[in-house]
Structure 1
């Protein structure tokens, strides 16, 4: 399905005003435009009918002429790019009395064809001079007065017709015979092409989203890989035009017109692919390049062979889709016995041809791929690879960003790399050097160097989800763990023990993720000597969710460490989450503004099967996605209740969350579950460590928010609940 219905611009003016020269200038300046003489289009239609142009002028009836013009208009409209047509509005007819009248030939089909008409006007004496000196065409001798009357007649007639059909009309005045037509080209771009590009962009992005939903399967991890100079050493676009046309770098000329990458430039490039060769030649050249000229880096082939199920590679390229399809087909065919599902199941998102592809891939489209995959597979991990400024939006939209050092040394990314050095939060940025010709320069300094083998290890062990084990062992943790297991403690005494555990784990939470995670902030306090001093205080951007009923005593301990937090009792009956809990969460998230991150601490005393925690997290995720706040989530618990349990959390929770922390009291460090775990990613251990903190950080830059606390006006200390406190049996 073609990308768009096309844009047709009419170039009108009386015979001899310079339409043909203007059309030739446009052909030379804008190779991607289709520039046609209206008479030639009619001649081509007549040839299909077995007639000549002389028949059209002499023997054909008015009805036959009209049918021929309508067929010509249909052919013009079929091109999905920009078409410039030099046309005729009328012809002079000499009356018996010697005066000149004008026969109008602008038809209703012409009115339905054009999106804009530009009318060329020159002084009549210059037009008369040009008509006399043009020996290539036989023209009737007309006086300056007749030429002036002709121009005035056509201007008035075309203006009226354009108003009737809703066509943009503009008169372009030129004063000399040697006028440069760059001004005319600029007007066409400004008034027609640029507005059309904006409409085409909407259609292209909609088609891209539909293709992502239809062609890319659900997965736990998506690998978004750029094509040219990332997956291979070559630039397939340049290779194509070197083979297709003797003109040097016509593709580069398009992008040099613009100060930055724009959709309009990529749309014009897609037109260029249509213009330089026929569709059959396009497919032939693409196939030849894919067979003989493009080689995937060996390290990529080895990496993609070994990726497990649940990991979906996606090639995201602004270049030639057909070339890459041939390259991947050849790679899987050459080593069919050893190639695992990685290369075979790689999806291709690429669009560069206005007639063959329904969308165009530009830099913004690459970011759309990442965002749509998050919607499609909730909780998925996005890992992106790129080498140029075109890949920056995709890298920023990913959880992990890998910059592949290319033969150009990533010069177009210099500003981006300099500005993002030293970031301690947000998406992870690392370098991968795959090309022996690549060389790191000073703008690469300060960036971590990674490898595909290292990434593969993270995928197969599950650490790609960002889980880090930070064991906290000590006598104090031992004392607390023992107290919670005493059979002689119950009721209020046992609740006090769980409250102490909550305080202890809250302290560990602050130690490991306090200032960086936004749990503490800078504050000013009055000094005993009467002055003020700077210090640290717990943040008010904290929401404590006490999972009813056993989590409430421990949550009170957490609340003592975060007295400015909101405190909500969160109930999970057998039938699902309480409707009022949904409403309260949605209200809190909805009232969060965009200055600071909200920290959500979900507290339960004991985790058995993990079902309650999972349901609570999905509830938070559901409401967070609606309100779209920036969240950090901590799950605080005294640990699993059995040695065989695992907590089934989403791989990444929730999509906008920059981090997750799981706190528990048990004896040995946990062991991460290996992939593939499409529904059950790494979670709690089978053993019982004494006091364990699991930190999972999703490396995305959060949209900072500030929480407008709906309970901040209440000066009364103690837990605030949206419903009355339930009675508590000993946990």
Structure 2
């Protein structure tokens, strides 16, 4: 039978013709997932959303029922070979219908079915299915969610399958189906609920910000965790203490502890399961009452209350609580503290909230505030759940509470994060609490100290952190670079030493170090250190003035790649695609335009890459308020390291180096006036 030509849609980009394969095979899309994953539900909504002008929608079981006299009940009694023949006839009928009606087909299907008696599953997909399908969408719904959905399904009598069996079923099905699709040239895509969950959380954030009458003035956002950050309690534990013992799942007073210590840890599935537990133990009214009881026992740290009240008076600074715990509890806590009208809250807890907050969601909220809303973000957290959020923030504050309540795993997790490049400070609440790690790795601050308060206000415009070398070192290293008697190779060597010093003393601390095994001089193995992901770091010499310093940086980080760049366009996607860190090196940052152009170009090519700028001298005007470097968009991880800051302007002139026929850019410092 000849294949009919597909119709052309008004928008050719989304026409079935453009989705057909190179052989002109019509588009047949399989919607797969283990039983209870919601295939029928999604098919129904796709039909409502897409309409039937260009798509035809099929429940595979309904097509099979129509081919067998006696329907599905009779089909189930057939021999395996006869069932297989009916399945082949069903997919042929669907393909022929789609060809005749010139439509793309969307079909719900089963790859494996569960045998309750044998407690095993078997494949029911035919070779003919694999010949017909062009695309397969696999619903990767968490097994915990499927178990609850199956339990709540009143329309179908679904077999009760143990959670571990559901997990094994899903993993096996996805693995085998993905391989078959790869072998047959079928486009395979896993559809997860997690991206939808994240988009809902971001939408909630955007809605809350849109309601703020002072939104247009916002420049800085304080993002805070809730439990054991705003207050020295875990409201989840308090909630389960409020629940009558007769309703507790398995009689456990802390079911969340077992949930989050399991194999799913702090995953989306674990937080979804927590929401289902809250649904299970209380009606809507009872849940509200339990949350009110918990809120009455929570006292926000006075330091946070003072901080939030202080910045509530400043329209340029906003605050939002992002909690993995119970949104309703913290809404009530903020109301009791008189902060509800000035502090937004993003959180879940019940299915009706529409989303759950996970560590990934917390980090995404920080990124959205930075990238979508162009805000400078200070993040405050206390536990491993908040580490991704802290790492994404422009400024990170670790809240340290008393030892008997704090997270037991945070020290090791925090140490790893610091070694991977996290730069954070810590605040002790109360002030006599034992610090985490040490004051070198996590410098101590106090909320009431004026330097901290000034820092929140003064840095809110900038997206860059600036570090300047110690004065004594700067004086020694600067002298040969300013001495008119030193030219040619000695001058280049002086700049090289500056680059090596800034790399080892500052850039290494910003990026972090990693350990590796080396041979000791005495013949035994020992531990050495190098730059974190050094082989995935690129040193960019901004020509021509940056080259000598860049060679010095390369001396410190020999495994890094080295790139000469006369202009931003010299950096290509190929240069950046595998890189973790880009180090831009220039001898002088004068008006800052060149360095900003490089930064924006790198960000456009790879938004998540860390950027470190290494410079010999930076003109103060460009990093002060209103300067182009100071006002760079607060997005991503960006740090500037300078040997010194100067109030003077620099004028470039050209000088032929001794012993080198190439002409080199040299800068002459001019004092104001």
1:451 shift after superposition = 2.7
| Structure richer in strand, relative to its length | 2
8 Å CA contact 2:200, 2:355 repeated in 1: yes
Aligned to 2:117: 173
Deviates more, 1:223-232 or 1:454-463: 454-463
Equivalent position of 2:428 in the other structure: 433
Q: CA deviation at 1:351?
A: 1.5
Which position in structure 2 is the counterpart of 1:517?
A: 507
Q: Judging changes above 3 Å, is the alpha-carbon distance between structure 1 residues 324 and 169 closer, same or farther for their aligned structure 2 residues?
A: same
Q: What is the CA deviation profile of residues 594-626 of structure 1, one whole-angstrom value per residue up to 9, with x for unaligned ones?
A: 4x7442113557x35x5555445434443453x
Say if 1:213 and 1:376, in contact at 8 Å, map to a contact too: no
Q: How far did residue 545 of structure 1 move?
A: 1.7
Q: Distance in 2 between matches of 1:618 and 1:645?
A: 19
* Alignment equivalent of 2:445, drawn from 446, 450, 453: 450
Would the aligned equivalents of 1:366 and 1:391 in 2 still touch at CA under 8 Å? yes
What SS class does the counterpart of residue 566 from structure 2 fall into? strand
* Partner residue in 2 for 1:296: 300
Match of 1:330 among 329, 332, 336: 336
State the secondary structure of the residue aligned to 1:332: coil
Which of 204, 207, 231 is the equivalent residue of 1:211? 204
Q: Does 1:236 align with 2:241?
A: no
- The answer to whether the 8 Å contact 2:542/2:564 transfers is yes
CA positional deviation for 1:353: 1.1
Aligned to 2:571: 585
Alignment-derived partner of residue 227 in structure 1: 226
Which residue pairs with 1:600 in the alignment? 584
Q: Which runs of 5+ in 2 are unaligned?
A: 1-32, 46-57, 63-72, 91-107, 120-158, 175-189, 210-214, 517-527, 556-561, 651-658
Q: Deviations over 1:234-271 (max 9, x none)?
A: 32223334434434754833552523333222112212
Residue of structure 2 in register with 1:577 after alignment? none
Question: What is residue 255 of structure 2 aligned with on the other side?
Answer: 253
Partner of 1:359: 355
The equivalent of 1:681 in structure 2 is none
Q: Aligned-pair distance for 1:286?
A: 3.2
| Matching of residue 389 in structure 1 with residue 384 in structure 2 | yes
Residues 502-552 of structure 1, C-alpha deviations (whole Å, 9 max, x = no match): 875554343343465369x99xxxxxxxxxxx9x9x999532224xxxxx5
Distance 1:559 1:632 in 2: 12
Further displaced range: 263-272 or 343-352: 343-352
Residue by residue, what CA displacement relative to the aligned partner does 1:28-77 show, whole Å, maximum 9, x if unpaired?
xxxxxxxxxxxxxxxxxxxxxxxxxxxxxxxxxxxxxxxxxxxxx99xx9
Structure 1 residues 315, 566: closer, same or farther in 2, change over 3 A? same
Partner residue in 1 for 2:564: 567
Task: Confirm or deny: 8 A CA contact 2:493 2:548 kept in the other structure.
Answer: yes
- Of 180, 194, 213, 1:201 maps to 194
Check if 1:267 corresponds to 2:282. no
Instruction: Count residues in correspondence.
Output: 481
Q: Which has the higher contact order (CA 8 A, sep 6+)?
A: 1
SS in structure 2 opposite 1:295? coil
TM-aligned CA deviation for residue 344 of structure 1:
4.3
1:326-346 CA distance string (max 9 Å, x none)? 32233236xxxxxxxxx7443
Q: TM-score, normalising length from structure 2?
A: 0.55
Residue 305 in 1 paired to residue 309 in 2? Answer: yes
* Deviation string, structure 1 residues 114-153 (Cα, Å, up to 9, x no partner): xxxxxxxxxxxxxxxxxxxxxxxxxxxxxxxxxxxxxx98
Partner of 1:118: none
- Residues 381-430 of structure 1: CA distance to partner in whole angstroms, max 9, x if unpaired? 54433333333333344452414225644343256257439x56711344
SS of the residue corresponding to residue 456 of structure 2 reads helix
- Structure 1 stretches lacking a partner, 5+ long: 1-6, 11-72, 79-107, 113-151, 176-181, 334-342, 484-492, 523-533, 547-551, 571-580, 667-686, 691-715
Q: Kindly indicate whether the alpha-carbon contact (under 8 Å) linking 1:270 and 1:353 is maintained by their aligned counterparts in 2.
A: yes
State the TM-score, normalized to the length of structure 1: 0.51
RMSD, aligned α-carbons: 5.8
User: What do residues 82-137 of structure 1 show as CA deviations (whole Å, max 9, x unaligned)?
Assistant: xxxxxxxxxxxxxxxxxxxxxxxxxx99979xxxxxxxxxxxxxxxxxxxxxxxxx
Partners of 1:254 and 1:265 within 8 A in 2: no
Instruction: State the secondary structure of the residue aligned to 2:572.
Output: helix
Between the aligned partners of 1:187 and 1:645, the Cα distance in structure 2 is 58
